[in-house]
Chain A
């Protein structure tokens, strides 16, 4: 059992889990307490406030005192916020392991959102396709969003492979082009008015407002990423190309094919996150996901992916996203001025990578001293 656990959950991931636990303990200890309104869940699944009837017959809303960090509502919020970033970070992580980079994920997220939103609106309550069965609109909307994201990934991948230009440049250009397309097709307007069923599906909640859908999709994406990277032959090839592209070529690996696939996966992950956000927020604009590329890359790097390529894991990347979200939420909980949040997160990213380097060095040293 233990060796198996170690295989799945490498040394690096264990370290990240420790950091998550330590951060959680710190936030619990220092965030103080808060009075939160109490809810009860009706038989229809909707939440209702709990009222206390006093002796005089007056009804006052009931409150409970909870830890600011360690309470259901806050954790549910954290889970949702982490999900969106983590899903995209798995795709970005795979690109980074292959030795590439994808700066266009935020833009792909926006374009996939608005394209999906336009189709969903068509089948929405006020759209021309309102009469169609509920499932049709959902499927077409999801298909359009995912398809758009895959096309963007194909665009990136094929240009990187065909032109042999550094992915940084290609995806930097793609970021502007794709974001521009999103503006053009929406003329900057917000797109909403989706079929009711869609929002209900994504916002389905249990407990203290925990939306199951984003969390479940994130766990699925993480599992898929883990299987891809550590169990499938293509995943092995991704590590090989990231570690030494020339040696991979000498081993008969078709570099172009693998790279194309990697950017498709990155686009796909942005598309999945976009769909979830559509359901969650019920609307999309071309400005969505601005700056996500940096959050996503930061999550991957904090999670142990090496920008030099050849190193990283799906579980690590998701933990990296969680750590960053915990810090962002900690800034709110500890009532630190919001203006500092960017500074703090930037510092954390640099510190995480420096610490990782130090840790690697320490590990090597320990190894060398153990040998007689």
Chain B
């Protein structure tokens, strides 16, 4: 039995957890759900010793515990599988798995013993990995398997999984689910933090809903349903979204791609996007969707083929030309590619639009402030002020800023890569509505997403990529998850 009693945790500008109390029974798979910023990751991290609670206590089988570090948590049998890299990417699988306690003989690393131990750890979770491969050559899914192997191998009885499937392909997800069910049979307690409702209902025994750092409910998962959970998460019923841009037929062709290819990434890509249209681009992780987006935007130095805007070909591999033609790219990784986190909201919004805000090299500050506040309020960015540094904002607000940046640049052709990854339900709905509005205004949108319901709800047409090629296209009338999955997986 794991009990949280009155846990409170504060971070700069937010109370992440506010007097949270509930308990988790041993040997169950317990879902932890809530919007971004609801505090579910923080709760997991307190359990795993990454953070310490400011107030409240944690009880493990009736004993109060306070793991101060991840190592201390490990000694209590609690481990965490992270969203982020938990390993040294340059070391091999075997080295990473044994890093805490390298087998030594007379001061030298005993490589044979190390490999053997790593193989045993992996075999215990049924993972078939090359122990001599550098960690960086592994896919995210396989790396997670290695993390789980490491956790189980060190005797973990409680494993916290934070958004484990957010960047897994469908096959990898199934593999992970099989492993989770197996771990449960072995009596290991799993705490499963996720946004993905269907996974929770397929896997978990009990569910705890958090909202704004407060505990809302805990109970067996059979006693509830997704609609109710969503309502509890956001405190209101979410209306079914109907895109308005579909009411009018799309206009003239804005963006046309012919024979786009990049060696080793993708080949033979041809597509077109019309004004007032949202075209979806589906595919498994690794199918080459983001790579195509970046090549269209001129970021791929090896790209070949033609990109035409309004029928005029753009000079190859030039971001400047793409920008000039009105193409904007909201990249998939907002923290690494989308925003400069050390700059404030205003500076991030105006970053791509700087050439238009400049006279004789000087930034026109009045114009800049007006532009930033216009788009911040249009996208309902929630920040204390536009002068706060973006690092402290929630994922949803950061994503809105990444979008605002390209709207401020006046882009008519927007490529949006994973617009709602790691974004809470409320912000998701706002982003869908915004994308729909933009299309209604006549902009041409290409939306890449791994969440099929998102594409199905939003797009007029969906293209599917598989292994670097276009595998097919579906008009809205033929949309279904099954049809898309068949194209994505090639069966």
B112 on the A face (CB < 8 A): no
Please indicate the chain A residues that have their CB under 8 angstroms from the CB of B352 in the complex.
251-252
Whether A247 contacts B10 by the Cβ 8 Å rule is: no
> A243-B342, A247-B337, A310-B340 known; A371 and B15 CB under 8 Å?
yes
Whether A233 contacts B357 by the Cβ 8 Å rule is: yes
Whether A251 contacts B405 by the Cβ 8 Å rule is: yes
Whether A240 contacts B343 by the Cβ 8 Å rule is: yes
Please indicate the chain A residues that have their CB under 8 angstroms from the CB of B343 in the complex.
239-240, 243, 310
Q: Pick the contact of A364 from B12, B336, B338, B358 — CB < 8 Å? A: B12
B108 on the A face (CB < 8 A): no
Binary contact readout A236-254 vs B (1 if CB under 8 angstroms, 0 otherwise): 1101101110111111111
Binary contact readout B345-387 vs A (1 if CB under 8 angstroms, 0 otherwise): 0010001101101100111010000000000000000000000
Please indicate the chain B residues that have their CB under 8 angstroms from the CB of A365 in the complex.
12
Whether A369 contacts B10 by the Cβ 8 Å rule is: yes
Whether B12 contacts A250 by the Cβ 8 Å rule is: no
Please report which residues of chain A, range 150-196, place their CB below 8 angstroms from some CB of chain B when the two chains form the complex: none
Whether B354 contacts A233 by the Cβ 8 Å rule is: yes
Residue of A at shortest CB range from B9?
A368
Within the complex, the shortest CB–CB distance from A258 to chain B, in Å, comes to: 11
B323 on the A face (CB < 8 A): yes
Binary contact readout A306-320 vs B (1 if CB under 8 angstroms, 0 otherwise): 000011000000000
Indicate the member of A240, A250, A367 with the most B CB atoms within 10 Å: A250
Residue of A at shortest CB range from B363?
A233
Within the complex, the shortest CB–CB distance from A109 to chain B, in Å, comes to: 27
Q: What is the bound-complex CA distance between A211 and B243, given in angstroms? A: 72
> A240-B351, A246-B337, A249-B319 known; A233 and B12 CB under 8 Å?
no
Please indicate the chain A residues that have their CB under 8 angstroms from the CB of B362 in the complex.
231-233
Please report which residues of chain A, range 117-143, place their CB below 8 angstroms from some CB of chain B when the two chains form the complex: none
Q: What is the bound-complex CA distance between A250 and B331, given in angstroms? A: 8
B14 on the A face (CB < 8 A): yes
Please report which residues of chain A, range 354-368, place their CB below 8 angstroms from some CB of chain B when the two chains form the complex: 364-365, 367-368
B13 on the A face (CB < 8 A): yes
Please indicate the chain A residues that have their CB under 8 angstroms from the CB of B14 in the complex.
368, 371
Whether B342 contacts A311 by the Cβ 8 Å rule is: yes
Within the complex, the shortest CB–CB distance from B481 to chain A, in Å, comes to: 31
- Interface size of A by Cβ–Cβ distance < 8 Å? 29
A372 on the B face (CB < 8 A): yes
> A233-B362, A240-B343, A247-B340 known; A254 and B354 CB under 8 Å?
no
Q: What is the bound-complex CA distance between A365 and B9, given in angstroms? A: 12
Whether B336 contacts A247 by the Cβ 8 Å rule is: yes
Please indicate the chain B residues that have their CB under 8 angstroms from the CB of A239 in the complex.
340, 342-343, 347
> A310-B342, A367-B13 known; A252 and B363 CB under 8 Å?
no
Within the complex, the shortest CB–CB distance from A128 to chain B, in Å, comes to: 42
Please indicate the chain B residues that have their CB under 8 angstroms from the CB of A367 in the complex.
12-13
Q: Pick the contact of A231 from B323, B337, B363 — CB < 8 Å? A: B363
Residue of A at shortest CB range from B327?
A252
> A244-B342, A247-B339, A251-B405 known; A236 and B13 CB under 8 Å?
no
Please report which residues of chain A, range 334-372, place their CB below 8 angstroms from some CB of chain B when the two chains form the complex: 364-365, 367-369, 371-372
Whether B323 contacts A252 by the Cβ 8 Å rule is: yes
Please indicate the chain A residues that have their CB under 8 angstroms from the CB of B355 in the complex.
233
Residue of B at shortest CB range from A311?
B342
A12 on the B face (CB < 8 A): no
Q: What is the bound-complex CA distance between A242 and B343, given in angstroms? A: 10
Q: What is the bound-complex CA distance between A353 and B145, given in angstroms? A: 40
Please indicate the chain A residues that have their CB under 8 angstroms from the CB of B354 in the complex.
233, 236-237
Q: Pick the contact of B319 from A231, A246, A252, A311 — CB < 8 Å? A: A252
B91 on the A face (CB < 8 A): no
Q: What is the bound-complex CA distance between A311 and B341, given in angstroms? A: 11
A77 on the B face (CB < 8 A): no
Please indicate the chain A residues that have their CB under 8 angstroms from the CB of B363 in the complex.
231-233, 236
Q: What is the bound-complex CA distance between A250 and B319, given in angstroms? A: 8
Residue of B at shortest CB range from A365?
B12
Q: Pick the contact of B341 from A234, A243, A252, A372 — CB < 8 Å? A: A243
B138 on the A face (CB < 8 A): no
Binary contact readout B3-26 vs A (1 if CB under 8 angstroms, 0 otherwise): 000000011111100000000000
Whether B357 contacts A372 by the Cβ 8 Å rule is: no
Whether A371 contacts B10 by the Cβ 8 Å rule is: yes
Q: What is the bound-complex CA distance between A312 and B331, given in angstroms? A: 28
Whether A236 contacts B341 by the Cβ 8 Å rule is: no
Q: What is the bound-complex CA distance between A83 and B6, given in angstroms? A: 58
Q: What is the bound-complex CA distance between A57 and B329, given in angstroms? A: 89
Residue of B at shortest CB range from A232?
B361
Please indicate the chain A residues that have their CB under 8 angstroms from the CB of B86 in the complex.
none
Whether A248 contacts B361 by the Cβ 8 Å rule is: no
B302 on the A face (CB < 8 A): no
Please indicate the chain B residues that have their CB under 8 angstroms from the CB of A236 in the complex.
347, 351, 354, 363
Whether B339 contacts A244 by the Cβ 8 Å rule is: yes
Q: What is the bound-complex CA distance between A244 and B343, given in angstroms? A: 9
Within the complex, the shortest CB–CB distance from B380 to chain A, in Å, comes to: 20
B231 on the A face (CB < 8 A): no
Please indicate the chain A residues that have their CB under 8 angstroms from the CB of B319 in the complex.
249, 252
Q: What is the bound-complex CA distance between A121 and B320, given in angstroms? A: 48
Q: What is the bound-complex CA distance between A364 and B389, given in angstroms? A: 12
Whether B338 contacts A250 by the Cβ 8 Å rule is: yes
Whether A234 contacts B361 by the Cβ 8 Å rule is: yes
Binary contact readout A212-249 vs B (1 if CB under 8 angstroms, 0 otherwise): 00000000000000000001111011011011101111
> A239-B340, A243-B340, A243-B343 known; A250 and B299 CB under 8 Å?
yes
Please indicate the chain A residues that have their CB under 8 angstroms from the CB of B358 in the complex.
233
Whether B340 contacts A244 by the Cβ 8 Å rule is: yes
Within the complex, the shortest CB–CB distance from B298 to chain A, in Å, comes to: 9
Within the complex, the shortest CB–CB distance from A12 to chain B, in Å, comes to: 13
Q: Pick the contact of A246 from B10, B297, B336, B365 — CB < 8 Å? A: B336
Residue of A at shortest CB range from B390?
A243
Please indicate the chain A residues that have their CB under 8 angstroms from the CB of B405 in the complex.
251
Whether A372 contacts B15 by the Cβ 8 Å rule is: yes
Q: What is the bound-complex CA distance between A226 and B329, given in angstroms? A: 32
Whether A368 contacts B340 by the Cβ 8 Å rule is: no
Within the complex, the shortest CB–CB distance from A8 to chain B, in Å, comes to: 13
Whether B299 contacts A368 by the Cβ 8 Å rule is: no
Within the complex, the shortest CB–CB distance from A357 to chain B, in Å, comes to: 15
Within the complex, the shortest CB–CB distance from B103 to chain A, in Å, comes to: 36
Q: What is the bound-complex CA distance between A250 and B334, given in angstroms? A: 11
Whether B13 contacts A250 by the Cβ 8 Å rule is: no
Whether A244 contacts B336 by the Cβ 8 Å rule is: yes
Please indicate the chain A residues that have their CB under 8 angstroms from the CB of B11 in the complex.
368
Q: What is the bound-complex CA distance between A243 and B338, given in angstroms? A: 12
Whether A368 contacts B337 by the Cβ 8 Å rule is: no
Please indicate the chain B residues that have their CB under 8 angstroms from the CB of A237 in the complex.
354
Q: What is the bound-complex CA distance between A246 and B341, given in angstroms? A: 12
Please indicate the chain A residues that have their CB under 8 angstroms from the CB of B329 in the complex.
250
Whether B341 contacts A244 by the Cβ 8 Å rule is: yes
Within the complex, the shortest CB–CB distance from A7 to chain B, in Å, comes to: 9
Please indicate the chain A residues that have their CB under 8 angstroms from the CB of B10 in the complex.
368-369, 371
Q: What is the bound-complex CA distance between A237 and B322, given in angstroms? A: 19
Q: What is the bound-complex CA distance between A105 and B197, given in angstroms? A: 58
Please indicate the chain B residues that have their CB under 8 angstroms from the CB of A369 in the complex.
10
Q: What is the bound-complex CA distance between A245 and B173, given in angstroms? A: 33
Identify 9 new A-B residue pairs, CB closer than 8 A, beyond the known A239-B347, A244-B339: A231-B363, A240-B340, A240-B347, A244-B341, A244-B342, A248-B351, A253-B351, A368-B13, A372-B15
Sampled A-B contacts (14; CB under 8 Å): A231-B365, A233-B363, A236-B354, A240-B340, A242-B342, A244-B342, A247-B338, A250-B338, A251-B405, A252-B320, A252-B323, A252-B352, A368-B10, A368-B11
List the 6 closest A-B pairs by CB distance, nearest first. Answer: A243-B342, A310-B342, A243-B340, A364-B12, A244-B340, A233-B358
